[in-house]
Amino acid sequence: MLRREHAIVGPCSTKFQRRWLVTFLAFMALGLLGGARDSQARGHVRFLINYGADVGEQIGNYDVAVLDPSIPAAAIARRNPRAILLGYLSLGEVHSGRDYFADVEAEGLLLRPNANWPDARFIDLRDRRWHKRVIEKLVPEILAKGFDGIFFDTLDDAEFLETQDPKRFAGMVDAAADLLRAIRQRFPGVQLMVNRGFAVLPRAAGAFDMLLGESVFTTYDTTSGAYKLAAEADYQWQIDRMRDAQRRDPKLRLFSLDYWNADDPRGIARIYAQERTNGFTPYVGTRDLTRIVTEP
C-alpha cells in the first residue's frame, strides 16, 4: 500500500484547514466545479490504483492502472489492450508478506521497522545488493507477468531516514536517485511511475515517465479515522513540487491520488474536477485501495 505518514511536507495550519473546508463546501453546495459526466467522453485518461486480489471486469475500463504484482494473470488478461499496467514495487522498505522478505533479511539489507507500518522494514538504499536484486530480479519478474511498467513506492523513506539521522544515513537520497537512473538505463522502454520522493526527483530527472502526488487535495486521518481535506499549505507545497518536476522534464505526466468516502459521489466528483484543474490525471479511492471506486 502507499504509505506517507512520515513524509516530509510543508507546515499544516488549523486556520488553513478551516478556510480550505469552507471553500470546498461552497464548491459542493453551489456546484461550481461542474457536474459528473462520462470521463471518456471528455477525453480524460482513466486512472486506477488498486491492490485488491482481483479487479474483475472493471480493469478494462482504465487507461493507466497500478496493481499489486500478485494479481492473477486472468485479471491482467481482462485489461484494455491499449492500457498501461504498472506493477507495484516498494523501493524504500519491504513488507514481511513479500516472498523475498526472508532473503533480504538474511542478506542484512533491512533496517528497523517502520513505526507507522510495523510489518514493513526500511531497507538500506545504499546497498548495491538491493540495487542488483531490484534490477536483475524484482523488476523483470513483474514485467514477465504482463505488466507494461513499474510503480515505485516509498522513495520518501530515503529523505526521512537521512533527515532523522544525517550521520548514520548519509547518502540515502543520492543512492535512491542512483537506483532510479540505473533502472531507466536497464529498461529504457519500460513505463515508470514514481510516488512522491520529492527530494530524490531533482537528482533523477528524466529517469521516470510519470509522477504521482498522494493525498494532494484530500487524505485519510488515521488518528480520527475520517477523510478530510489536506491543509492548504501542504496542498500547495505538493503541487509546487510536482510542477517543479515537470519543469525539469516537460514530458513528465502528473497523476494524483486522493482519499475520500466512497459513499459521497458528489464529493468525489468535485475532487476529480479540482485535480484536473491542477493539470493532474486523478484517482480518488478509499484508504485501503482494495476496492474500485468508480468516478461518478
CB count in 10 Å sphere of residue 229? 22
CA distances from 172 to 29, 56, 161 (A): 46, 39, 8
Structural domain total, the chain: 1
Would residue 73 count as lying in a domain? yes
**Residue 4: inside a domain, yes or no?**
no
Q: CA-CA-CA-CA torsion for 77, 81, 82, 83, nearest 10 degrees?
A: -20
Asked whether residue 2 is domain-assigned, the answer is no
| 156-193-288-22 Cα dihedral, nearest 10 degrees | 80
Q: Which domain holds residue 263?
A: 14-285
pLDDT tens series, the chain, 296 aa? 454 333 333 434 444 444 445 445 444 443 433 333 344 445 689 999 999 988 889 999 999 999 999 999 998 999 999 999 999 999 999 999 999 999 999 999 999 999 888 899 999 999 999 999 999 999 999 999 999 999 999 999 999 999 999 999 999 999 999 999 999 999 999 999 999 999 999 999 999 999 999 999 999 998 899 999 999 999 999 999 999 999 999 999 999 999 999 999 999 999 999 999 999 999 999 999 999 999 99
Contact indicator for 168, 145 with CB cutoff of 8 Å: no
- What are φ and ψ of residue 234, in 5° steps? -70, -40
Contact (CB, 8 A) for 3 and 153: yes
Nearest Cα neighbor of 1 from 257, 252, 204, 192 is: 257
* CATH code (residue 83): 3.20.20.70
**7 in a structural domain:** no
Over 190-232, what HEC string results? Answer: CEEEEECCCCCHHHHCCCCCEEEEECCCEEEECCCCEEEECCH
With CA atoms as reference, report the closest residue to 147 among 212, 88, 201: 88
Residue 240 lies in a domain: yes
